[in-house]
Amino acid sequence: MIGSTEYIILLLILLAIGTIGVIIRRNFIIILMSLEIMLNAASGLFVVGSGITGNMSGQLFFLFAAAVAAAETAVGLAIAIVIYRKKGSVETDKFESLRR
């Protein structure tokens, strides 16, 4: 039988892979995809907690997290398209006008 510990460890590994993607990649769209992986893993942990406690709130939190992820992706991709129009690339090394 597979218990809650195995699920939690799997979801933490996925969260760590998403973190690695956000830190090491320089492409804005890949960073957004890694953020999706992180959000999925974190809200999956809520679903596991909902199974452990027998409370429905964890599953509802997954729904709210999905809505927030959809909103975040829409705005993030709009920003990516605007930056591509201005700079011709979505590499984050090119976004430097606020740094100077």
Ramachandran category for residue 13: left, alpha or beta (phi over 0 → left; psi -120 to 50 → alpha): alpha
- What are the DSSP E strand ranges found in the chain? none
- Does position 86 interact with other proteins (CB under 8 A)? The reply is no
- The CB-of-23 to other proteins minimum distance in angstroms stands at 3
- Does position 64 interact with other proteins (CB under 8 A)? The reply is yes
- The CB-of-56 to other proteins minimum distance in angstroms stands at 4
Q: What CA–CA distance (Å, rounded) separates 66 from 85?
A: 29
| Closer residue to other proteins, CB minimum distance, 1 or 100 | 1
Residue 6 contacts residue 71 (beta carbons within 8 Å): no
Q: Residue with structure tokens 């129009």?
A: 85
Binders of other proteins among 15-44, rule CB under 8 A?
15-27, 29-30, 32-34, 36-37, 40, 44
- The CB-of-100 to other proteins minimum distance in angstroms stands at 21
